[in-house]
Amino acid sequence: MSFPRVPFDTPYFDPTGLGFQPPKLTGLAWRAFTIVTICFDPQEREALFINADGYAVPLEPHPYELRRLLERAIAHGYGQVCGTGQFAMKPGRISALQSSGQLKRWVVYHLEQPAHYANEPTAWHAYVESDLAEERRAAEATADAVAHLVRVPWQETPAPCAARVVEERRAELMAQYRRRKADNDAVNAWLRGDAPSAPLLQALAS
């Protein structure tokens, strides 16, 4: 089977611009945006991408470059497809593939997942505390350096100054968490079919 030239050279193209991506093994990732499973028919070069919550994601596979991502798989399944939501393969088509013997061509590739997701409260708490510890060390070092250069009567001592910086950073991180969690939940709702359009597309249209 021949394929037309595609206008991108990555394993897949994300037409939504929402930022779906393979698992990040360092740092924290959000479940709705993380691709953890790929269902692939090597004969037709058709692929389904599944996020960490099991919803199919609307990505366009590159028929040849996709191999770069499939090679990262740590486990495989054969003769099956998976994924739920409005972009998943419809039950009628699965039944047709099954009855025609074509379902057995499909391979499921499971990618290595990160140890933790930002959606997990304990993981987010650990991330925040690690970030704040680094922020505290940097603020205290800066305050000490300034204190040795000049001292004025109204200048804060290093400890209160560092505490203020840390609390400001904590508030910034929590605001970031609320935004990202709202995005995560909205994207999953859209993937399920509970929202009329992708959040980013809704924002652009408003």
- What is the pLDDT confidence band of residue 10, given thresholds at 50, 70 and 90? very high
Average pLDDT over residues 155-167: 69
Quote the CA–CA distance of 157 and 140 in Å, as a whole number: 10
pLDDT at 97 over 80: yes
In a 13 Å sphere around the CA of 197, the CA atoms on its Cβ side amount to 9
Is the pLDDT confidence value at 80 over 50? Answer: yes
Residue range 20-69, pLDDT digits in tens: 999 988 888 999 999 999 999 999 999 999 999 999 999 999 989 999 99
| Structural element, H or E, at residue 163 | helix 158-192
Using CA atoms, how far apart are residues 123 and 27, in angstroms rounded to an integer?
Answer: 10
Q: Residue ranges of the domains in the chain?
A: 12-111, 121-205
Q: Report pLDDT for 144.
A: 60
Alpha-carbon torsion, ordered 127, 129, 131, 132, to 10 deg = 160
